[in-house]
Chains A and B, each alone.
Chain A
Amino acid sequence: MSATLPLVEQFQYGLDAPICLTWELTYACNLACVHCLSSSGRRDPDELSTAECKAVIDELERMQVFYVNIGGGEPTVRPDFWELLDYAGQHHVGVKFSTNGIKIDQRAARRLAANDYVDVQLSLDGATAEVNDAVRGAGSYDTALRAMTNLAEAGFTGFKISVVITRHNVSQLDEFKQLADRFDAQLRLTRLRPAGRGADTWSELHPSQAQQRQLYDWLVGHGEQVLTGDSFFHLAAFDGNALPGLNLCGAGRVVCLIDPVGDVYACPFAIHENFLAGNVRAEGGFSQVWRGSELFAELRRPQTGGACNSCSAFDACRGGCMAAKFFTGLPLDGPDPECVKGHGERALAGLDQAASPKPSLDHSHRGRAAVPLTIGRRAPGTISPPPDVRPPVSACAQSPLAGLTS
């Protein structure tokens, strides 16, 4: 049979529809997390109506977008949230929604457990209330734990516990895993991005180089048991070993973001006018944006490695995360700010941080500070890798035709 390109090569040029997309239903949120990607807090008066949301779902069904990651803000505070959830299910669009748990009472948990088309992702950024609440706000740990208890008691197994890795919780990886196991849930770890309010707190919160290595070893040790949203592909440059999943920036190629007012951005971490591709309210709707946007066409052209071209790890990390570079003021064709070879750190040292691009939108609560950062720097914890460390499985090795010779 004919030779097939690796999936990473195929995906570089984009797909007819996204594989999964993030849809932030509202900027309204009861919390004010210091690293919020979307600077959420207040509802935008122009947010999509129930009818407009249903029209988007109809379109996703036509495009065969099998599932969406719904977030916010806190999506469950929208009064029509449950109606939209049911509508998506009826139209064969699966939903995984992210929540801080505020509305997941016993009744909601039973309703969710009965719905095959829904998956739930609880956000938790510390395995202890002290570490979590310092980032997410007082009481948020208890809220999340109560929601998890309700889900588990309703028989909802396999929900996700989603953790943004910071220098303060990277020493708690084993505790997070134990917590997930206790609830028969699945642990998901994702990368802290300098987007939204995270742009202001990233330099205080992002893991150190030594912690990145620790994280990488832990992820390699736990393989498929732990989800990562494929967000740590910049770590693939360690040893040249890829982590499970797709090690590629999918922005505008296989993923994108629809924000609460219908604006379509290249990825959830790039809410900035430079990455705005269009709006679902315009003629042609979402599919026209996905297929016709000049920005997306540009992102689907072969990218040059720029300053990274001469690096031996370029094929593994492909220069890292576009949004992380952008919001830290680094050139998009240069190293990621957390480049494991240290190139990003050196590049950042020569930059005027105050000149970095700022997020275009801010829906933060007025007159209310985001959660104050009170945790001091702590010594990185020690984590020993489990004895049976197995080689990571690449995205391609998981596909049905892996190992197939041409």
Chain B
Amino acid sequence: MSTDLELGAPGVAATFDLAAAWTLHPQVAVRPERFGALLYHFGTRTLSFLKSPQLLSVVQQLADQPSARAACLAAGIAPADLPAYQQALTRLADSDMIQPRKPAASST
């Protein structure tokens, strides 16, 4: 036995739709840490890291916001920083940590 930190393999990068509604995968658990958070997917048994508290805040807002862009803005992300967060969310989507969600009826 060993000290495994077997990280999720990066998938093929696809364009992440900031206008779509997203949510955390139901089999993913989140553990906040000083640097951000750990995510663990019980289905794929992979671990991922959120390297900043801001990104954690974005991920936590996803389910309650009509779009990923709205979640970023609600988490206080400056519009100029959106591309970086889009990239981060792309990786989370590729590793199944987050998944598309049907938008709420009240969404714009």
Residues of A participating in the B interface, judged by any CB pair closer than 8 Å: 1-2, 4-5, 7, 10, 15-17, 19-20, 22, 24, 37, 64, 66-67, 69-71, 92, 94, 96, 98, 116-117, 119, 121, 162, 190, 224, 227, 229-231, 244-246, 250-251, 254-255, 267-268, 393, 395, 398-405
Contacts and interface: CB of A to CB of B under 8 A. Distances in A.
Contacts of B78: 1
B72 to A, nearest CB: 11
Contacts of A4: 35-36, 51-52
Contact of A405 (B5, B6, B35, B84): B84
B38 A19 contact: yes
A401 B91 CA distance: 8
- What 3 A-B pairs have minimum CB-CB distances, sorted nearest first? A229-B2, A66-B40, A71-B1
A369 to B, nearest CB: 24
Contact of B87 (A5, A20, A66, A404): A404
A190 B3 CA distance: 10
Interface stretch (B7-15, B18-26, B60-68, B99-107): B7-15
A226 to B, nearest CB: 11
Contact of B4 (A5, A7, A69, A405): A69
A401 B3 contact: no
B45 A403 contact: no
Contacts of A5: 35
Interface residues of B, number: 38
5 contacts: A5-B35, A22-B3, A98-B1, A162-B2, A230-B2
B35 A67 contact: no
A92 B3 contact: no
A73 to B, nearest CB: 10
Contact of A15 (B33, B43, B51, B77): B33
B35 A7 contact: yes
Nearest to A70: B1
A19 to B, nearest CB: 6
Interface of B: 1-10, 29, 31, 33-36, 38, 40, 42-43, 45, 47-52, 54-55, 77-78, 81, 84, 87-89, 91-92
B2 A268 contact: yes
B51 to A, nearest CB: 4
B1 A268 contact: yes
A244 B10 CA distance: 11
A254 B34 contact: no
Nearest to A267: B3
Given A399-B91, A404-B84, 7 more contacts: A1-B84, A16-B33, A22-B2, A66-B29, A400-B50, A401-B50, A401-B55
Nearest to A191: B2
Contacts of A10: 33-35
A401 to B, nearest CB: 4
A4 B52 CA distance: 7
Nearest to A121: B1
Contact of B6 (A92, A227, A268): A227
Contacts of A94: 40, 42, 45
A20 B45 CA distance: 12
B6 A399 contact: no
